[in-house]
């Protein structure tokens, strides 16, 4: 792929997800189709937060992993006033440093309405795509280096494709949940 194709993929996947979210209601956003869902909910202080594992992350060793609501999935994708998806870095090296040194999900607040989540999501992914568009194409193919830990030999382009995959596969999950909500019994 080229740098332009990477950016086009992120913009296309973002547009497709935003189209899928057209008309999303608060009931759908918070709908828990099974018991024990991870969702976004108000904490004792009134701030909205996403459910996390006992270790305070989105990673869990539970099997099966908790089922997540549309609200949780959108929060995970950056529907937050302070999303963990890095954006705004001028160089690929700065982006890699931001990605591998990002703030933990516990510091990322959630929101309680579908409309606010969709607006925040659109803004997050526009910034991410703009960040990618600003990278020098030569930055995409070199190894990320030690800051990337076990991915040190990986490339910035590989990281961008990983991020695009996150957007695409969680976006598809949201589409399926909307279909299930539309066809639910009762």
Angle at 53 between CA 50 and CA 58, to 5 degrees: 60
Residue 186: pLDDT above 70? no
Closest CA to 109 of 46, 176, 26: 46
- What is the distance between the alpha carbons of residues 159 and 150, in angstroms, rounded to a whole number? 13
- Of 22-31, 51-60, 70-79, 128-137, least confident by mean pLDDT is 51-60
Mean residue pLDDT of the chain comes to 92
* pLDDT, tens only, 42-75: 999 999 999 988 877 777 888 898 999 999 999 9
Token pair listed for 23: 């008309």
For residue 185, name the pLDDT band (cuts at 50, 70, 90): confident
- What is the distance between the alpha carbons of residues 58 and 114, in angstroms, rounded to a whole number? 21
Q: Answer yes or no: are the C-beta atoms of 135 and 99 closer than 8 Å.
A: no
* pLDDT, tens only, 88-98: 888 999 999 98
For the chain, what are the domain ranges?
3-53+64-182
For residue 106, name the pLDDT band (cuts at 50, 70, 90): low
Strand partners, 40: 50
- What is the distance between the alpha carbons of residues 73 and 79, in angstroms, rounded to a whole number? 9
Residue 167: pLDDT above 80? yes
Residue 1: pLDDT above 70? no
- What is the distance between the alpha carbons of residues 7 and 87, in angstroms, rounded to a whole number? 13
Q: Which residues neighbour 14 within 8 Å (Cβ) at sequence distance 6 or greater?
A: 122, 125, 126, 129, 167
Task: Give the whole-number percent of the chain exceeding pLDDT 90.
Answer: 77
Q: For the chain, what is the total number of helices (H) and then of strands (E)? A: 6, 2
Token pair listed for 86: 């890095």
3-class SS of residue 155: strand
For residue 7, name the pLDDT band (cuts at 50, 70, 90): very high
Token pair listed for 178: 């909307």
């Amino acid at each position: 792929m080229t740098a332009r194709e990477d950016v086009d993929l992120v913009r296309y996947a973002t547009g497709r997800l935003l189209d899928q979210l057209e008309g999303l209601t608060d009931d759908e956003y918070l709908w828990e189709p099974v018991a024990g869902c991870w969702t976004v909910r108000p904490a004792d202080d009134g701030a909205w937060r996403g459910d996390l594992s006992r270790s305070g992350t989105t990673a869990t060793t539970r099997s099966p992993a908790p089922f997540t609501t549309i609200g949780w999935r959108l929060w995970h994708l950056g529907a937050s006033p302070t999303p963990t998806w890095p954006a705004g870095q001028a160089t690929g090296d700065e982006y890699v440093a931001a990605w591998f040194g990002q703030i933990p999900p516990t510091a990322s607040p959630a929101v309680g309405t579908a409309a606010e989540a969709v607006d925040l999501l659109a803004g997050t992914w526009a910034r991410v795509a703009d960040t990618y568009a600003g990278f020098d194409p030569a930055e995409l193919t070199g190894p990320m280096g030690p800051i990337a830990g076990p991915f040190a030999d990986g490339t910035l382009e590989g990281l961008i494709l990983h991020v695009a995959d996150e957007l695409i596969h969680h976006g598809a999950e949201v589409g399926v949940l909307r279909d299930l909500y539309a066809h639910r019994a009762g």
